[in-house]
Amino acid sequence: MAFIVSSLPDYVNQNSKELLAKSVFGADSVKHLNLMTGVKFKEAINLINTEVGLQERTCGWSASADVTFSQAIMEVGAYKVNASLCEEDLRKKWMNSEVMTAAGAEVLPFEEKITGEIVDSIKGKVEKLIWRASKSGGDLFDGLLTQAIASSAATDVQSSASTTYGKIKDVYMAIPASILDKAAIFVGVDTFRAYCQDLVTQNLFHYSADLDPENMEVILPGTNTRVIAVSGLNGSNAIVASDPANLFYGVDMQDDLEQFKLWYSDDNQEFRLAVKFNAGAAIAFPDLVVYDA
């Protein structure tokens, strides 16, 4: 049976935009954050903050309202993924089983599996970058947790609680009242699991400890605040709270330079993969972020 290559570019070409979108938008946290598109490198997030003072109603005019304009900067990194897939390596290591399962078929399904694995790997990398990227550590932008820790305006709870449940409660109590009705608490999946077990141990029988398995979130008992698991915080033990609308994820997705391309190189006698995309993160108002790290 011949090694069929004619269908390989067809699948990727027909689905390149979808594959790129899954790579860029598929990270766990993205659905919870404020999305900003069209970012090439650095882009200003224009912010407005108002403060009014109430006065006794008398004749005359005395201004007592301030409208403050400010900016936060979204910085994205221009990332790429390159891979070389040798036909002979595929045949030796993987292709035999695929050829057997596809006997008699006109198209071998291996390209979809390979690209699916690549997309999942990119999503995992982007998810971690969103929260924990560090320019000082060699990354192309600072993640949300990194920015919070670096900001003097964000609140560092430094909880002394001995349980995950206690630490999350301490973070909750530090959330500014102005965003309490909209705030969410983000933790790693590992921390989330420990928290759910702590709820069972607390025996809070009058509250539901059932979690939303699709979104990996649960309501903190006695509040309307969601505790949300995101894999980007795995292994950090960090707890981050804010209004999700205050946390931005930046991409481009409007430029022909971004791509997800797979082709057979006659010159190199191998398949080659090229993925290009932009990704970054920003906090609009650091004073509305509470964390324990």
Q: Which two tokens stand for residue 240?
A: 């981050």
Where is pLDDT greater, at 253 or 74? Answer: 74
Least confident of 4-8, 51-55, 58-62, 229-233: 4-8
Mean pLDDT of 67-89: 82
Where is pLDDT greater, at 243 or 12? Answer: 243
Mean pLDDT of the chain: 84
Question: What was the pLDDT predicted at 199?
Answer: 84
Where is pLDDT greater, at 51 or 188? Answer: 188
Nearest to 167 by CA among 142, 192, 138: 192
Asked whether the predicted pLDDT for residue 106 surpasses 70, the reply is no
**What is the rounded CA–CA span in Å between residue 85 and residue 95?**
12
Over residues 187-209, the pLDDT tens digits come to 999 999 999 888 888 776 555 55
Where is pLDDT greater, at 148 or 64? Answer: 148
Mean pLDDT of 29-41: 92
Q: Are 145 and 133 in contact (CB under 8 A)?
A: no
Over residues 124-162, the pLDDT tens digits come to 999 999 999 999 999 999 999 999 999 999 999 999 999
When pLDDT is cut at 50, 70 and 90, the band that residue 287 belongs to is very high
Please give the share of the chain, as a percent, with pLDDT higher than 90: 51
Over residues 236-283, the pLDDT tens digits come to 999 999 999 999 999 998 776 788 888 777 788 777 889 999 999 999
**What is the rounded CA–CA span in Å between residue 34 and residue 283?**
10
Query: In whole angstroms, how far apart are CA 202 and each of 166, 191, 196, 210, 218?
Result: 11, 16, 10, 14, 15
Query: In whole angstroms, how far apart are CA 239 and each of 6, 15, 156, 221?
Result: 49, 37, 10, 17
Asked whether the predicted pLDDT for residue 167 surpasses 70, the reply is yes
pTM of the model: 0.82
Where is pLDDT greater, at 96 or 141? Answer: 141
Question: What was the pLDDT predicted at 200?
Answer: 82
When pLDDT is cut at 50, 70 and 90, the band that residue 5 belongs to is very low
